[in-house]
A and B are shown apart, each in its own frame.
Chain A
Amino acid sequence: MLVIKLALRNLLRNRRRTILSLLLIAFGTAALFLFRGYGVDVAAMTRESAIRQVWHLRIATEAFWDGERYGYDYLIAPEVLAGVREILAEEPQVVSYTTGLSLMGLLGTEEKGTTTFLAIGVEPGNPVPPPEIKEGRPLKDGDLGAMLITQDLARELGLQPGDNLVVKARTIDGLYHAANAEVAGIYHVPGLGGNMVIAPVSFNQMMRGTDRISTIAVKLADHGATEEVALRVQRALEENDLAGLRVKTWQELADFHHQLVLFLNLIFGFIGLVIFVLVFFSVLEALTMAFFERIREVGTVRAIGTRRHQVFGMFLSEGVLLGLFSGLLGVALGWGIGSLINVAGLTYNSP
């Protein structure tokens, strides 16, 4: 206790030097706090975004995940899908799921020309987070030839909700197939390509001449249960002779999220190292100066019976106290600036 009291007195004795060291460490701590706070928030947002995009689990065939096969043997047959539906129905963590099948081809009208497109197939009745509909309506149950198109595509082809389109695509047998479709709505999602169309999975199946699907996206009630449910579902698939299917978690599929977290950690580590070195040398200098100024004092306290380790403790306590106070001040400062930034409500568009 006496050591702490003495350390405090010594810190207060040379206030200017103490305040300078305190401010330097506090600003360094605050800067680190703010950067880390930003990094944690960005990581949480990309995690949410990744989950919204791929959902918690994806089920597909091994061939689909391998990625370098020929033909369409990677598609999931209806009888296999029925087995998966049974397994998912028994899993309490599953909130919803949707089957998917994409489609590529040409779409357009005779008057306005054609362009290429990539259609994401979804089950309209499923609570997929709907994109922002700018005009028209979202997809609904029973829609077959209805599509949501991007604003870019609507502009390019001069399309409006209710307009009819001719869609041409190749079936899995390699034949060309044309069908009519209607523009149900025009949506906007930053980052999704200008020719990205959202269509009912049944439409994509019809166009590709198959009753199969490529993946099943599963949404869970609890993020934290992802790994555990993935293992359970995988085990259930194997027990039900559906071993050709493999479950992947969003963590396995969200490359961008992992890269971003790694990048932010690297930057945090670098800034942390710079601030560490800065604090180290400035405090070293301040305390060494204090030592030289107090040589006589050290001799006196040693002469009246103070042991070496007590002198060591006295100086070390000064450093620890300085670190504690400036750390707390830095966190408080970072907290204050962070709160101001949060209150200001600044926004930016995701890259």
Chain B
Amino acid sequence: MGNRVSYQRRRAHLQLPIAGETLPFRIALGLDVAWAPFLLGLVATTISAIYPAYRAAKLEIASALRFV
């Protein structure tokens, strides 16, 4: 009967010693970070403008000028 070598034990082979360190709390500031939030805000604003714009475009001149 052979020795049963567990998966966990074999996984231990994968580990190499690494330099211990305290991690810095940093914020990445590149353009690759900025585009998604910027685009999300722009798209949300643009989509929300469609309904009022549609209502304004559909307005009949006579009914609009009734208020004058």
Interface residues of A (CB under 8 A from B): 25-26, 28-30, 32-34, 36-38, 40-41, 44-45, 49, 52-55, 58, 60, 64, 67-72, 74, 98, 100-102, 104, 118, 120, 122, 128-132, 148, 170, 172, 174, 187-192, 198, 214-215, 217, 253, 268, 272, 275-276, 279-281, 283-284, 287-288, 290-291, 294-296, 298-300, 302-303, 308-309, 311-316, 318-320, 322-324, 326-328, 330-331, 334-335, 337-339, 341-342, 345-350
B13/A339 in contact, CB under 8 A: no
A311 B10 Cβ-Cβ under 8 A: no
- A selection of 20 A-B contacts at a CB cut-off of 8 Å is A36-B37, A54-B16, A98-B16, A101-B13, A120-B15, A120-B17, A131-B20, A275-B40, A284-B52, A287-B53, A299-B61, A299-B65, A303-B65, A311-B53, A316-B53, A320-B45, A323-B44, A326-B41, A331-B37, A338-B29
Dominant SS among interface residues on chain B: helix
Report whether B45 and A312 are in contact in the complex, using a CB–CB cutoff of 8 Å. Answer: no
Q: Within 8 Å CB of B54, what residues of A?
A: 312
A319/B37 in contact, CB under 8 A = no
Q: Kindly report which residue of chain B lies nearest to residue A191, judged by CB atoms.
A: B20
Whether B25 contacts A341 by the Cβ 8 Å rule is: yes
Contact A342 B29 (CB under 8 A): yes
Q: How far is the CA of A313 from the CA of B17 in the complex (A)?
A: 62
CB within 8 Å of A: which B31-56 residues = 32-34, 36-56
Of the residues A33, A122, A348, contact of B17 by C-beta under 8 Å: A122
- Residues of B4-32 whose CB lies within 8 A of A: 4-5, 7, 9-30, 32
Closest to A7 in B: B49
User: Chain B interface: which size bin?
Assistant: 35 or more
Is A131 within 8 A of B27, CB to CB?
no
Q: A72-B3, A316-B50, A319-B46 are in contact. Are A299 and B59 (CB under 8 A)?
A: yes
